[in-house]
Amino acid sequence: MTSEFNGVAELTEVMRRLRDPEGGCPWDLKQSFESLLPYTIEETYEVVDAIQSGDMAAIKDELGDLLFQVVFYAQLAKEQGDFVFDDIAAHTANKLISRHPHVFGSDAERNLSDAEIKAQWEQIKQQERTEKNARGSVFEDIPSQLPSILKAAKLQKRAASVGFDWPEAEPVYDKIEEEIQEVKDATEQAHIEEEIGDLLFAVVNLARHKQVNPEAALQRANEKFKSRFQNIEQRLSEQDKRPSDCNLDELEALWLQAKKV
């Protein structure tokens, strides 16, 4: 435990030195909450890539880069007199304790079933949202900049938490078929875009009902498509050809072969 706390203390001291007006790093001194956002997003995706690669050294490295982003924001807040890194950690610890009475609460609370724990979790989160926002909207604290698929899933989950949801997946299939037909019927470009959006939203809803993370599912589909098409490129390269040298029937035949790999 001691070495972990020393590591955090060392990192925060490094950050303080980087932001020191006398002898600090010119680049770090120019940064603000807003200017760091692109780097934070980039580091988050790099953590995802490292985890998916299974390379533990890379995971440690990228988690460190992401942690540095948190330390950077904490240093900026400290300079403004708002909060420090320890405030972030303490607030998060208290929040987690509050959200996990089945771990930190009474004996009765620690003996809840999985379904009861899930219901309790949603109730606690809803109470937190109500306390944050006088209107108590279930959508109020959903980040506006979430990727669209994740945002759709979160909107649907929040609506479902207050009872606005189908009890099973069957009506979702019907809704998807309805949306497909509406895409076919649309003629103006703006209307086509709207209907395709509705179709995508319905597919995300199906993923939620099937307990599938739609972002992860689409990412796997992306990687599968990429791998299969690269197989086609490799086969054609061995013949000194490119995909653009082939017609669609030839590419389709190669695609079917790639699917068997």
Closest residue by Cα to residue 117 from 107, 109, 128, 105? 109
Closest residue by Cα to residue 206 from 173, 232, 243? 173
For the residues 142-169, what does the mean pLDDT come to?
A: 90
Radius of gyration of the chain (CA): 25
pLDDT > 70: percent of the chain = 95
Q: Hunting for tokens 């099973």 — which residue is that?
A: 168
Task: Output the pLDDT for position 1.
Answer: 41
Query: What count of residues does the chain have?
Result: 261
Task: Output the pLDDT for position 102.
Answer: 86
Give the whole-angstrom CA distance, residue 139 versus residue 137. 5
Is residue 90 within a helix (H) or strand (E), and if so which, with residue range? Answer: helix 85-99
Closest residue by Cα to residue 31 from 40, 22, 42, 43? 40
pLDDT tens column, 91-131: 999 989 988 888 888 877 778 888 888 888 878 877 776 66
